[in-house]
Structures are given as C-alpha cells and as structure tokens.
Amino acid sequence: MGGIVANQSALADLMYDNMILEMNVIHAAWQNGCKKLEFLGSSCIYPRMAPQPMPESCLLTSELEKTNEAYALARISGLKYCEFLNRQYGTDYISVMPTNLYGPNDNYHPEHSHVLPALIRRFHEAKVAGLSEVTCWGDGSPLREFLYVDDLANLCVFLMNNYSGNETVNAGTGKELTIKALTELVAKVVGYEGEIKWDTTRPNGTPRKLLDVSKAEKLGWKYKTELEDGIRLSYEDFLNNPMRAER
C-alpha cells in the first residue's frame, strides 16, 4: 500500500500482491474451519464521486478513483470473498473499512508513504536543514479524514465481539480537514516555521473522502484520539526510531 506515487507506479504489483495475499489467507481460514475472520480494507474502495459522508451502501455504485483503482479492486475482492463465503457456507467473516490511518510504526518513505507520515518526514527534514520553504503536491483543497491506529485496533476487537454481517463497517472519526489545513497542523507539531508552497501540476487525488461512521457508533463504538494529539504521538515515534525514515 502507499500514497499516490506508489499507487500510480506499481499498479500491477499492488493489485496482484494484495489479491494473492488476501485470497490465500481467507481461503485457508475457511478450509481450516476458522470460526470468525475480520478483513481490513480501505476507504479507497468507494467511488470517486460517492455521496459524502460515504455510507457502506455506496460500494460499487459508480466509478473508482483512477489513482488508486488497482488497490481498491483488490480490497473489494477481499471483502466480497468474505461476503460470498458467508452466503454460500455460513461463515462469520466480517469486513472493516478504515479511513486514512496514521500512528507509531508508520511508513515514512519519501515516495511511497501516505500523506500524513510523508509530511512529518518532510517538515522534520526541512526544519533540521533550515529550509525556508517546503513544496507539497496539488493545491491543498482535497478533504481527508484520519484515524489513529490504536483507535482502529480498539474497533477491530470491538467488532469481533459485537458484530456479524455481510455489509462492511466503516472505521473513522466522522471529521475531515483540507490537505492544506493538515500540512499547517503537521508543520505546527513538528515546529517548522517556513513557507508552504503548492505544486499544482501534481495530482490532488479524490476530492473528498469522509466516511459515514454512524453504523459503528450505533453499535456502541467511537474514536478517542484527536488529530493533533495523534500527530504529536506519531512525531515522537518518528524521532525515537530514526530507522523508520529509512523505509
């Protein structure tokens, strides 16, 4: 998995690797009598122009976002395989679709990471080097939602104990902000005070990706970690584990 660069440069690899991995694991679980399985997908499975916030029911109702189509198709295949096993063999396999995740042990690779860890690394290196400006991709207008990884882990355990069904469950906060606002928040946490510029020749990706999390909330779950607090914890992890930046 990765951000826009990784998704565009390794279309075939991302689709093949994810499909082989998930099909082998899910199929082996079924063959060996696994009573319950939880499959994790991604919010990128939903259509590019899905209604906002995106309910679980909008899956496959229109065209996918081209910049992550290969990865999305693989994830859709996994959740559908779980659904079809339930319908054909009576298994209890569930699917969870997280929004953008972040937190300790993230991937901070300069080209293959997702937006939030990429910004942490970029602003940290700019601060250390004393750079007067940092250039980010697009125009900063896309809206994104972020969920701290420990909150997702908590939800996963909660759903294993409290949910069965063929329809996936969205995992998110129900809150969003622009990429521009995100860059400013990361810069603040990192302590970078230079200018932020935008390269509008680069792609923005999907205009908006906000999950409808009412289903999880009705089941009795809600996230705990606010974004600024989570970014601070992520930056502390980055500083305390310098080898993360080598990935």
Asked if residue 245 belongs to a domain, the reply is no
Q: What is the pTM of this model?
A: 0.88
Give the DSSP per-residue string, 86-138. HHHH--EEEEEEE-EEE-TT----TTTS-HHHHHHHHHHHHHHHT-SEEEEES
- Alpha-carbon distance of 116 to 122, in angstroms, equals 10
Q: Out of 46, 71, 102, 235, which one is annotated catalytic?
A: 71
What is the domain range of residue 231? 4-240
Residue 161, domain member (yes or no): yes
Element (H, E) at 27: helix 11-31
Query: Is 142 inside a domain boundary?
Result: yes
Any idea what the CATH number is for the domain that residue 44 is in? 3.40.50.720
Q: Is 192 a catalytic residue?
A: no
Asked if residue 247 belongs to a domain, the reply is: no
Q: Is the dihedral of CA 169, 183, 240, 243 positive or negative?
A: positive
State the total domains in the chain.
Answer: 1
| Per-residue tens of pLDDT for the chain, all 247 residues | 655 555 566 679 889 999 999 999 999 999 999 999 999 998 889 998 899 999 999 999 999 988 888 999 999 999 999 999 999 999 999 999 999 999 999 988 877 778 999 999 999 999 999 999 999 989 999 999 999 999 999 999 999 999 999 999 999 999 999 999 999 999 999 999 999 999 999 888 778 889 999 999 999 999 999 999 999 999 999 999 866 555 5
- Whole-angstrom Cα distance, residue 100 to residue 210? 10
In a domain, 246, yes or no: no
For residue 167, being part of any structural domain is answered with yes
